[in-house]
Structure 1
């Protein structure tokens, strides 16, 4: 049965690289993305050979088992092609490619995958990554040593653990079958898209409900706006849905759209360009499959990086703690330059510090008990003392206490009375006689 749905394929060199090592295929039943590696020419050849080996699989299948067997056989044949290409043309040694493919069989998707290109499924307003990256950093994520967000910027994120290459005649693909339903959207892409555009923005583009071609253009624009340091290839497949099925020949994009016999440019000594160091580096291989001893070095390097990260984290925490302690000490020292007049259980007291407390921490201490009883104060003064009276200085606090003492003396009647003037003695009169 021929798959009923619509699809689109698009590939772009990106903003940094000078050639496109990606390839993509969108047909009647078959959909593939391949991201080549192996230098300026090796990647072109590898992804092109893989796509052309996959192309005959674009036909109806009677069962998912047949489709799986055909997909594995084509991948093995493609690996043999890469081995022969490297043998016949030594300048291609080390070439390889990722491969992510879907064969639609009735209501099922037969999936084959190796490398770090990805397949996503958009269903019920949710985006799910279906394939797992065969990369060094993904292994670190799976083991819990780094987070997925750290993996996006890890310096070794392009190191592939599994890939179609000239070093393995029997490649191990992840093979599985998933049920499809009308409205599903399957996105196959190289890491030129997934490495730049995060899943939240991919989901937003899917939600817009545009036709596959326009959605692919939207995603490509986002990758280009994000700098597109690598080639970008997108194949988008819609199952049933509102968009009419596109009839006609298959769409091949990227390096596979050129003649199969890719011309290898002559090897030239690299010329440094201090104005464009990024462009020069971008023309070097973006992926490679490491030898076992190199992996050991990477693992050891990652251990050292993790140790440095822990040391840096601890040092940062110590600095933050020291700053907090210093700030707390400075704040406490400032509080001890303040004074206020308040009350203890029954008398007026001069306090050093401020009235507020921080949890169980008291920011004031009694400095002098004045022996003025609260009960002896006029009501308005007693209320002020109980609510505390702020003083500008210790001398100001003593002046407040003096006024309170005067108020207490008036209440208790102990205010000294004015001293009466002495009564003048009568003046003796002179005897007239």
Structure 2
């Protein structure tokens, strides 16, 4: 029995964020949500690239090799991320989550990485079918905190895995689809604000996919809307329905905070929806020969207007760049070699530092291992002030298992007093007892008459204490 999908999708900017870094695609065969990260426009770029690489999967009816098709598309997306960063170094650090399903009529292949989620409502039973790649989920798996504590943990948004151009293998799976199954794919702008119980009740109450999507977005906004909110609802049905046009929303549609439906389902239309629009060509002023005597009077005014406009654009760009740096934090080192948190971005422009000292640590740069020192010298980027403080704490945590800190240098051996000839002439009773306990015979006592030394050039062979390289350890002070 072949099933079809009846779906709806929407992406909203939320109430706090300046822009929408989520991207969403919902079509007859492909459902995908990508939550970009990296600050400024980098998150937009990353999620857009990944959705654009997966969109061609919706063109053809997939066969049984669902996972192979997804793996190939994800590999292409990851390579495009790497190439984009290589061509635009200022985008270093961008990445995105990805949760996507590829539908074949009776099965779905799924790919997942990050903290976007997929849920399944089947016969009234609601279940999460993905596992978050986050720090708090790792704590839950290790039994260090409960699931309830994880929902309010201050580091619940800290990802352990994401698509960022580096070699990584997301989770892939294949699931059987039954008539009546309802799937929800969403970013953490919904799952991090609205409880699982409320989401389940809403999915049961609203049978129409579009109404269900709108209701879930409203609930996230009522919860404060602290993040971008992206939601897909898809129902598997055996009824004959008209195939809907694909929905492209969020950053992938270049439409901040509003979901967008493509006009037609042709490849050209989808490519247009996933590409940045070309700016219109400026209109050239036309003038006849009769106007030529007036041109000398008009050119100064037009030139002045163009200069004013250019200055406004440059000033706006400088202000936007300055505002961006003031929202960034990183871990670095002061000129005195002290670890610190800086506000801004590493580097200088025209001799002006782009960062200011925010807070310092008593730990010195030389106390770190060489690998950690190189990272600090380049500047360890952080997503927020809190994240920067956490990264600094991870570097300087005085734990023997901390791979970033050098081991403590052993204390220097104290000089020992020279032994008197009488003391060296005969072993003490304690030394004799120790030698007996070890199964060795005590050395014979020397005769009272000293034997003249026949080799005056031979020096005493005292034991030399081991020498430790100070560059490989740190002072305990």
TM-score by length of 1: 0.60
Instruction: Find the counterpart in structure 2 of residue 51 from structure 1.
Output: 51
Instruction: Find the counterpart in structure 2 of residue 260 from structure 1.
Output: 275
Q: Which structure is larger by alpha-carbon Rg, 1 or 2?
A: 1
Cα gap change, 1:29 to 1:285, in 2 (>3 Å): farther
Query: Is residue 2:243 matched to residue 1:247?
Result: yes
Q: Tell me if the contact between 1:45 and 1:262 (Cα under 8 Å) persists in the aligned partners.
A: no
Gaps of 5+ in 1: 274-283, 303-433
Measured against aligned partners, the alpha-carbon deviations of 1:377-418 in whole angstroms (never above 9, x if no partner) come to xxxxxxxxxxxxxxxxxxxxxxxxxxxxxxxxxxxxxxxxxx
Q: CA deviation at 1:62?
A: 5.2
Cα gap change, 1:155 to 1:299, in 2 (>3 Å): farther
Cα gap change, 1:249 to 1:86, in 2 (>3 Å): same
* Counterpart Cα distance in 1 of 2:324 and 2:48: 26
What are the equivalent positions in structure 2 for 1:12-411 lying under 5 Å apart? 12-61=12-61, 63-65=63-65, 67-166=66-165, 168=166, 170-240=167-237, 245=241, 247-258=243-254, 260-261=275-276, 267-270=321-324, 297=394
TM-score by length of 2: 0.55
Q: CA deviation at 1:63?
A: 3.2
Instruction: Find the counterpart in structure 1 of residue 7 from structure 2.
Output: 7
* Counterpart Cα distance in 2 of 1:257 and 1:17: 17
Q: CA deviation at 1:241?
A: 6.8
- Residues matched between the structures, number: 285
Measured against aligned partners, the alpha-carbon deviations of 1:90-121 in whole angstroms (never above 9, x if no partner) come to 22110100000001112111111011000000
Gaps of 5+ in 2: 255-273, 279-316, 328-380, 400-477
Q: Tell me if the contact between 1:15 and 1:228 (Cα under 8 Å) persists in the aligned partners.
A: yes
Measured against aligned partners, the alpha-carbon deviations of 1:219-254 in whole angstroms (never above 9, x if no partner) come to 000000000100000011100178x74534210010
Cα gap change, 1:76 to 1:118, in 2 (>3 Å): same
Secondary structure at the counterpart of residue 165 of structure 1: coil
Measured against aligned partners, the alpha-carbon deviations of 1:281-337 in whole angstroms (never above 9, x if no partner) come to xxx9869xx99x9599299699xxxxxxxxxxxxxxxxxxxxxxxxxxxxxxxxxxx
Q: Tell me if the contact between 2:30 and 2:100 (Cα under 8 Å) persists in the aligned partners.
A: yes
Q: CA deviation at 1:210?
A: 2.3
Q: CA deviation at 1:267?
A: 2.3
Q: Tell me if the contact between 2:29 and 2:61 (Cα under 8 Å) persists in the aligned partners.
A: no
* Counterpart Cα distance in 2 of 1:158 and 1:299: 22
Identify the structure with bigger relative contact order (alpha carbons < 8 Å, sequence gap 6+). Answer: 1
